[in-house]
Chains A and B, each alone.
Chain A
């Protein structure tokens, strides 16, 4: 029996379906790569904003606000609070002379009230500073 030299409709439909599946797979790979990239970039940016705020706050007097030159991120604001450090052994007082060891807890709050952080660091301040 001689085989027909023409493609049947089923064959053409299957070929198109295979091609479409390849294109969809490629597009989904690109889309997944983009999502992963955006997630990594967002994570980096959040960490970067926290670092900017913390680096400045560790240099400035305890009740300072972070200036726009250092924290130029519209839609985000720096919040921080001080407390006595946790896990300090009882025999070691937090205050020695004019100086006190305190915990600085820094968060970034977005306009949508999303909380980024916190970063907690111990720092030494003068007794009257906070």
Chain B
């Protein structure tokens, strides 16, 4: 018994391959576009969450920053505050989560390996001493950071206007009235966060100038 073998002509094969290629290209294009869009959404989401993280730190640490002093190595009281262009160390009031915890917390913010790092401690981080890394709790606030910078606001006594400086004179016996952090991300975007420190306002500040230090 003989079977008739149906073969495709070259034209049919070429046409079928052509159709298959067009469909594969369309599917590939759609999937690539979808994947890129999804990646873009994820990137936006990650950046947005990082900005919300910074909101959290400025609304807790900056807004509740208080003047706090401690005896230095010469037994002279010195303010536990260090404000430089690229780092900040301050004391701030925070909620007490446990009975063995203090209501004052100390935090140091700085850039490390393209990450904005917050180092916390319940006992003073002294600006004149380097704390051992095991003594602090580290938190990565933001990653993919190119640069950070701080600005410190003071009030000029002559006209009560605000003066912004990129570092804080450690001879001052009070802390800045406001602190701003500016973050430049690796993608080129830049954002600033300015907050008044605790109880600071127009002609208002915590303590008495020039000795407005909690003792």
Contact = CB atoms under 8 A, between A and B. Distances in A.
Pairing of A with B = yes
Contact of B164 (A27, A37, A48, A69): A69
Interface in B39-54: 40-41, 44-45, 48, 51-52
B178 A59 contact: yes
B161 interface: yes
A38 B190 CA distance: 17
Interface in A59-105: 59-62, 64, 67, 69-70, 72
A60 B202 contact: yes
A53 to B, nearest CB: 9
Interface residues of A, number: 32
A26 interface: yes
A40 B48 contact: yes
Give the interface SS of chain A, mostly helix, strand, loop or mixed: helix
Contacts of A34: 37, 40-41, 44
A41 interface: yes
B161 A61 contact: yes
Contacts of A44: 48, 51-52
Interface string B21-51: 0010001001101100110110011001001
A34 B44 CA distance: 9
B151 interface: yes
B134 interface: no
B151 A69 contact: yes
Contacts of B192: 52, 69-70, 72
A21 interface: no
A13 interface: no
Interface in B153-173: 153, 155, 159-162, 164
Interface of B: 23, 27, 30-31, 33-34, 37-38, 40-41, 44-45, 48, 51-52, 55, 151, 153, 155, 159-162, 164, 177-178, 180, 190-196, 200-203
Interface of A: 16, 19, 23, 26-27, 30-31, 33-34, 37-38, 40-41, 44, 48, 52, 55-56, 58-62, 64, 67, 69-70, 72, 123-126
